[in-house]
Amino acid sequence: MVAAPLSSLASVATPVHPWIAALLDALPVADGPATGAARDALAACGLPSRRQESWRFTDPAAIAAVAPGPLQSGSAPDHPPLSQRHFRLRLDALPQDLSSLHWPEGIDPLSAAEVASWLASRPPSEDATPEDWPALLNAACGPALLALRVRGAVPGVLELISEAGEASGVLPLRVLLLLDPDARLELLQVHRAAGSSLTSVQVAVELAAGAELRHGLVASGGADSVLLAGLTVHQQAGSRFSLTSLSQGWGLVRLEPQVVQVAGAAETRLRGLQLVDERQLADTHSRVRFDGPDGHLDQLHKVVADGRGRSVFNGAVCVPRQAQRTDASQLSRSLLLSDSARVDTKPELEIVADDVRCAHGATVSRLQDDELFYLRSRGIAAAEAARLLLRGYCQEILDDLPAAGGGWPVPSVIPAPEARR
């Protein structure tokens, strides 16, 4: 593997951050002008800073603590279908020839020409800022792109898996899904890590008229692990998109779902659950924009924070003048289990249209003493009562996750302080 020289960065006026310089030196030679441009932009941006609005609650120190080089996975790939209802693919061990796999009916890999055309239509921004940092990092690393076209109703669940394990380094992943008119797909992403690693995954989805995607994301990490997960969805009229995400254990996890209803008249449903403990930080920045009338959004974000864990939620909803008769609802609910846990929640509505129905809210609470008393008065021990209440709080989100084919259990709910004594 030949390292990419930093000579192409000579035009950068400011010094390159040492972590980024080391990462770029460790990467293979850029495989095209788009990757080279992304590396130049990454070098110019530097690491994210808390001076940027979208990063002001997020300490990038966890990123800088990861070894700045490609992660080498020693795990054996697991590609074959598990059953008629589950097809599993390892994103960190993609085969050279995707057409050699036995794909479920209705899913086909895009040709090299189709992939090149799509990438060329989305060049890196020349004025990129640290606000775009996760996507820029991913583009600069230039991982293989898993690009699939979906036709008709796909039977079963497509599972996309990454396993960083105890390895250290940066693991970049890219996925493109193009759903044809009236296509149907259930998708489950699973990301796991235990060591000092940075998993950077960027998923782009294009939903044609009448298409439907039910998308689940389950992420379980270690105290020194970092996950940066970006999702960009473009919905045509009549399409339906739902995202249910669950994260636990990461030193830093940052989820950035960005949804655009390009002509309105589409349905978007977002569900999120963050479980944080110790010194973990879970950060979600979502943005939904309606570029046409009669759009619908239903968003619910939940948090369980214990120890010195911290959660950040910034949910933006943009309703311009052309998006009349938009119906959007956004709710953030947080449960604190310790005096040291912290939640920063910032729902945002930007409304210009005058014929809309939009609502947002945020609550932060603890386990209710009267509910605990009720359960204990029925002979249930304090620890078990707390677990039951927590499970009930989380179940609303867990019920929306697509079912896995096996071997990927849903992370357990954080026990309440009463359960630890």
Record the tokens describing residue 176, joined without a space: 């493109």
Q: Does residue 296 lie within any of the structural domains?
A: yes
Domain hosting 381: range is 368-404
Q: Is there a single domain that holds both residue 281 and residue 312?
A: yes
Given a contact cutoff of 8 angstroms between Cβ atoms, the answer to whether 190 and 408 are in contact is yes
Residue 418 domain-assigned? no
More confident residue, 45 or 238: 238
pLDDT in tens, 307-324: 999 999 999 999 999 999
Instruction: Give 247's pLDDT tier (boundaries 50, 70, 90).
Output: very high
Beta bridge partners of 297: 268, 328
pLDDT in tens, 148-190: 999 999 988 999 999 998 999 999 999 999 999 999 999 999 9
Instruction: Indicate if 375 and 301 belong to the same structural domain.
Output: no
For the chain, the domain total comes to: 2
**Residue 269: pLDDT above 90?**
yes
**412: pLDDT confidence band, cut at 50, 70 and 90?**
low
**Within a domain: 360:** yes
Is the domain of 256 the same as that of 114? yes
Tell whether 391 and 246 lie within a shared domain.
no
Instruction: Tell whether 411 is covered by a domain.
Output: no
Residues 121 and 63 both lie in one domain: yes
45-54, 66-75, 238-247, 333-342: which is most confident: 238-247
Which residue intervals of 53-111 are DSSP H helices? 61-64
pLDDT for the residue numbered 331: 93
Measured in degrees and rounded to the nearest 5, phi and psi for residue 320 equal: -75, 180
Does 251 lie in the same domain as 392?
A: no
Note whether 116 and 173 are same-domain residues.
Answer: yes
Concatenating the DSSP letter of every residue in 112-126 gives HHHHHHHHHTSPPPT
* pLDDT tens for each residue of 25-80: 998 887 777 788 888 888 888 888 888 888 888 888 899 999 999 986 555 454 44
Whether residue 120 sits in one domain with residue 257: yes
